[in-house]
Structure 1
């Protein structure tokens, strides 16, 4: 054990700690107000989860120290990561720091090269159009569920190709929502409780096994030989039928890597990619559509930009770089609503962080949501304002926008995420000239992501103007 490298001062304990429970009641009852309130108590604040202390970093400069400059002192770990590792295995998001992580990241990096993603963009656009144009008009829809379904379908098309058998895609779509709910449950329960033979634990384990079977079938589909010339193909729909045409997906990069991954590693990476691409993307899009429905001037500017870039025709991949306001709307949605609100690291040795002693093995918590609601970096942080991302107004504090992390563990799929988000949002707006909120304003619910508790929208082909009025500034709790 290395001693701390500087003299440290006592770390302030957040108020409201209860015997035995610590701050669990605050994290369960009002997590977002609680996590943002910690900024008032210092750059590093101690909380208690039960009897276990955790150190919350509220200063963006110190968070950058944790993620970038002193990253070896703060390994990927903690309660949330440990719980997710049961589900993800040793995928890129959860594998421990070291040679395996570096090797796998290098192998996967070409998958997320912008030019490589561009080869999949036409298929992604087609997939979105086929889904969103099939929605019935004027029918209230669960937008969060819809956005998760669209994000999953688009990512499957990008990852495995559009020739993935229909039954696989439908099985993925059916299974993933319950998988995500079960995974979230595993992260919030004590570890001893997740190991008990309870019905919910058994059901989650069965779904994980089923998901791995589906991933195996998708991989087998990608590696199945095409029929030789003159061969009679198997009947359509046969699970063993060879593909009639080779259509490269992003996952082919891993299947044909010079340093091939093991079968288990391929499974782990596929599950990690699928899960990471659904919940965060779906959450961002749901909130973006909500804010658009409540801000007529934002909607007008979005539609004007689309009309100028691709008038009277469907979106094309080359259009994406010409949609800066669309990108700003999405970035503001990510800033205002997370999507992640609490992420953990584990101190690998005794360290001094911001003048405070953090012992070896302690959980260190950083919060994208907290930093992205810091009024010092984002004035009026509860107001939805896409123009805060213009060159003149963008925050200059490094580490103030951390939706994709930072440092060597930064999200490898950031470029893909921006392309996917723009494709889905632009295509929905092209397909439906008017959005109508048909539920009460949603409340932000902090689970793994900051998701809406309930939200329905109706989509209309007519563009009848709504009652005129100023843009509403909607706060995370759903109030105006």
Structure 2
């Protein structure tokens, strides 16, 4: 980029800064109102996270420069990614820009092709139907926890196959919410606090270590041949004469291959990645596939429950495509309104509310000079509530995603990022979201909220603080 011809514009500092902790208290107590308020101060606004300055980009057009046009000058980094790297390691979402990132992304890309995902589509639908049909009627369910549970199980079937030991799924479910809370704590508090031997810091370290051990078990189980000792201490199935593995049945290896999931693509290149990198990629996929997808589904169900007209249109669309039969994978492309409902849930609730980059050199952005090495913050939640792009942004309006209207929002919908670091699992996320929402609507003719309206709570994602629902097998209350 050429040097600016005009003097840089002074960068405004957000009000409310406190000694030592800067704007940390606002980021802890009311992060979403605080981040949304920054738009009124300018297109780039300085805040302090502890003693460290960070530059928040409030204009979606400038955020697109950071992510796409001038991405080489804004590599991934900053406090957000430093904290994520503690448990994600150097997965494709957190590894520094450069040859390693490009190589790993190319190795992972095939597992997220539409063809590969389609291979697992019906297994995902079967898993979701089994879980959703087993919900007891007329009993309040915690929808945030429930959606995370179902997205985790669906993810594991898709990625690791259908035969993963049950105890792994249970521990993943218990660990992930706590790790997410510990991570955002490290993002918004001064670094010296995270380094102290406090109980919360030690617990976070222990949980991350346990997660890595579980991922190693999942990989070992996925790669072990039938008849060998698996990570859960069991062996492959035996025939009547006691033979195991391929000795018991010549078709075992083929059946095992069919049971395998998307991760088999990476298993085949473990020699290029190494075991540690394989762990990092598996943890990255796990974190990205569960919390964000589960959060979106919880918010979507909340909005559907309080908008009867939206629910009626969803059910009519589903009935016109599937009639009386169960959902099939090839039906998903024929459910455009369902996808618009999900996209509007993603738009209204984030899903991420604070993401960082760093500056590779002194650079002028929107007329403001940002020094080399500074944290640059962009916020999908902030950009997707910009009234210049989304009139009446607090209104849930799936029809804003109709083709003619959606054109006006191009470049401001940043839930999956953009540019060369755009989320590699976006295709998978859409498939999982559509399968789960359609299956719930098919199996339960009626559901209703049993809690007060939830408040948005910013952790890593923007989650509902409390949301319970009852499901009913009859369509009339």
Task: Say whether the fold is shared (TM-score over 0.5).
Answer: yes
Query: Residues of 2 paired with 1:345 and 1:265: CA distance?
Result: 22
Alignment deviations for residues 272-291 of structure 1 (CA, whole Å, 9 cap, x no partner) = 10011111001100000000
Query: Residues of 2 paired with 1:235 and 1:51: CA distance?
Result: 49
1:444/1:451 contact within 8 Å kept:
yes
Residue in structure 2 matched with residue 283 of structure 1 by the alignment: 295
Alignment deviations for residues 423-450 of structure 1 (CA, whole Å, 9 cap, x no partner) = 0010011111111100000000112111
Query: Residues of 2 paired with 1:436 and 1:359: CA distance?
Result: 51
Residue in structure 1 matched with residue 84 of structure 2 by the alignment: 84
Q: Secondary structure of the residue that 2:137 maps to in structure 1?
A: coil
Residue in structure 1 matched with residue 346 of structure 2 by the alignment: 334
Equivalent pairs, count: 459
2:344/2:396 contact within 8 Å kept:
yes
Alignment deviations for residues 246-273 of structure 1 (CA, whole Å, 9 cap, x no partner) = 1221111011138621000000000010
Alignment deviations for residues 114-165 of structure 1 (CA, whole Å, 9 cap, x no partner) = 1110000111111111111111101111100000000110000011001112
Moved over 4 A (4+): 2-6, 233-238
Alpha-carbon offset, residue 219 of structure 1:
0.9
Query: Residues of 1 paired with 2:475 and 2:231: CA distance?
Result: 42
**TM-score normalized with structure 2 length:** 0.92
Residue in structure 1 matched with residue 307 of structure 2 by the alignment: 295
2:272 to 260, 277, 291: 260
Query: Residues of 2 paired with 1:184 and 1:26: CA distance?
Result: 14
Q: Does 1:378 align with 2:390?
A: yes
Q: Does 1:16 align with 2:16?
A: yes
Alpha-carbon offset, residue 3 of structure 1:
9.5
2:405 to 393, 405, 410: 393
Residue in structure 1 matched with residue 460 of structure 2 by the alignment: 448
2:331 to 319, 330, 340: 319
2:475 to 453, 457, 463: 463
Alpha-carbon offset, residue 13 of structure 1:
1.7
Q: Secondary structure of the residue that 2:369 maps to in structure 1?
A: strand
Query: Residues of 2 paired with 1:198 and 1:225: CA distance?
Result: 43
2:147/2:297 contact within 8 Å kept:
yes
Larger helix share, 1 or 2: 2
Query: Residues of 2 paired with 1:454 and 1:193: CA distance?
Result: 29
Residue in structure 2 matched with residue 478 of structure 1 by the alignment: none
Residue in structure 2 matched with residue 123 of structure 1 by the alignment: 123
Query: Residues of 2 paired with 1:207 and 1:370: CA distance?
Result: 31
Residue in structure 1 matched with residue 184 of structure 2 by the alignment: 184
Alignment deviations for residues 17-38 of structure 1 (CA, whole Å, 9 cap, x no partner) = 3343332232222221221222
Alpha-carbon offset, residue 53 of structure 1:
1.5
Residue in structure 2 matched with residue 171 of structure 1 by the alignment: 171
Alignment deviations for residues 43-102 of structure 1 (CA, whole Å, 9 cap, x no partner) = 111122233211111111111110011111111011111011111110111111111100
Alpha-carbon offset, residue 199 of structure 1:
2.3
1:378/1:395 contact within 8 Å kept:
no
1:346/1:362 contact within 8 Å kept:
yes
Residue in structure 1 matched with residue 240 of structure 2 by the alignment: none
1:439/1:456 contact within 8 Å kept:
yes
2:299/2:464 contact within 8 Å kept:
yes
Alignment deviations for residues 298-345 of structure 1 (CA, whole Å, 9 cap, x no partner) = 000000011111011111001000000000000000000000011100
Residue in structure 1 matched with residue 379 of structure 2 by the alignment: 367
Residue in structure 2 matched with residue 35 of structure 1 by the alignment: 35
Alpha-carbon offset, residue 417 of structure 1:
0.3
Q: Does 1:239 align with 2:251?
A: no
Residue in structure 1 matched with residue 156 of structure 2 by the alignment: 156
2:217/2:231 contact within 8 Å kept:
no
**TM-score normalized with structure 1 length:** 0.92
Query: Residues of 2 paired with 1:398 and 1:361: CA distance?
Result: 30
2:221/2:230 contact within 8 Å kept:
no
Query: Residues of 1 paired with 2:20 and 2:269: CA distance?
Result: 50
1:337/1:369 contact within 8 Å kept:
yes
1:6/1:352 contact within 8 Å kept:
no
Query: Residues of 1 paired with 2:272 and 2:397: CA distance?
Result: 46
Q: Secondary structure of the residue that 2:273 maps to in structure 1?
A: coil
Query: Residues of 2 paired with 1:111 and 1:224: CA distance?
Result: 20
Q: Secondary structure of the residue that 1:396 maps to in structure 2?
A: helix
Q: Secondary structure of the residue that 1:118 maps to in structure 2?
A: helix
Residue in structure 2 matched with residue 198 of structure 1 by the alignment: 198
Query: Residues of 1 paired with 2:451 and 2:120: CA distance?
Result: 35
Residue in structure 1 matched with residue 99 of structure 2 by the alignment: 99
Alignment deviations for residues 162-221 of structure 1 (CA, whole Å, 9 cap, x no partner) = 111223223322332333333333333322222222222222222222211211111111
Query: Residues of 1 paired with 2:311 and 2:77: CA distance?
Result: 41
Q: Secondary structure of the residue that 1:379 maps to in structure 2?
A: coil
1:377/1:395 contact within 8 Å kept:
no
